[in-house]
Structure formats: structure tokens, C-alpha cells
């Protein structure tokens, strides 16, 4: 499989559950991202990893915990979420410096619903 794949595509969880979102890229990229997409809001950058090192953390609540074991895999661990965390979570990858190489490659997203 090529490109950026995310699992699961849909997830429903209670506020006390613990779950994880997974992202895998087969493009040989070195940077991976988590974005949150909510209705009528801009895409919100949550985390960026370059060469497995976290380089951006946009004041994301600690109930979201990223993990990047290697440059091809990215996880988002979820714990004690709130209903307002319901959104589409998009993973993306790029060469090290996307603004120089020109493109973010997105996955299809994981639709999260928190009850």
C-alpha cells in the first residue's frame, strides 16, 4: 500500500476510555503531523515530528499523547477525552521541510466521536 494510511477510520469512545489512532506512511518522508479538523474551523496543527523528534506541540491538552517510534509510524493516544474533542483527526507526512518541498500528504482521517 502506498501513501498515508490511518486506522481506525471511525472511532466512538466514552470519556473514560483509552484508545489510539495509528498512522503509517509509505512515502519515505521524514516529517509526520497530526491535525485536528472541526466543522467551520481551520485545520489545527497538533504535533509535528521530524526524524522521530517532536518539533511542534501547539498547546495540545495532555489527554492527547503522540508517539513516533520511527519515521514511518505515528500514533495518537487518547485518554479521558471530552465531547468537544470529537472531530476528524488527520495525519500527514512530508519531506523534512514541507514548505521547501511543497506538499503535505494527508491520510483519509480518523473520525472520532466522544460520548
> Contact between 10 and other proteins (CB under 8 A)?
no
Whether residue 104 contacts residue 33, with contact meaning beta carbons closer than 8 Å, is answered with yes
Rounded CA separation 26/73 (Å): 9
**What are the cell numbers at 21?**
489512532
Residue number, 30 or 80, with CB nearest to other proteins: 30
DSSP for residue 66: E
> Contact between 18 and other proteins (CB under 8 A)?
no
**What are the cell numbers at 20?**
489510539
Among 55, 57, 82, 113, binds other proteins (CB under 8 A): 55
> Contact between 26 and other proteins (CB under 8 A)?
no
Whether residue 20 contacts residue 34, with contact meaning beta carbons closer than 8 Å, is answered with no
Among 11, 21, 31, 76, binds other proteins (CB under 8 A): 31
List of residues contacting other proteins (CB under 8 A): 4, 31, 33, 40-43, 45, 48, 50, 55-56, 90, 94, 97-100, 102-104, 106-109
Amino acid at each position: 500500500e502506498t501513501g498515508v494510511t490511518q486506522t481506525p477510520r471511525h472511532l466512538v469512545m466514552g470519556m473514560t476510555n483509552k484508545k489510539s489512532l495509528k498512522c503509517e506512511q509509505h512515502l519515505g518522508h521524514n516529517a509526520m503531523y497530526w491535525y485536528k479538523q472541526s466543522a467551520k474551523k481551520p485545520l489545527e496543527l497538533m504535533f509535528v515530528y521530524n526524524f522521530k523528534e517532536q518539533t511542534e506541540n501547539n498547546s495540545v491538552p495532555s489527554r492527547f499523547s503522540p508517539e513516533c517510534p520511527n519515521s514511518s509510524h505515528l500514533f495518537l493516544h487518547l485518554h479521558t477525552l471530552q465531547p468537544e474533542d470529537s472531530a476528524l483527526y488527520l495525519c500527514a507526512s512530508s519531506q523534512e521541510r514541507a514548505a521547501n518541498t511543497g506538499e503535505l500528504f494527508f491520510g483519509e482521517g480518523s473520525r472520532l466521536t466522544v460520548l
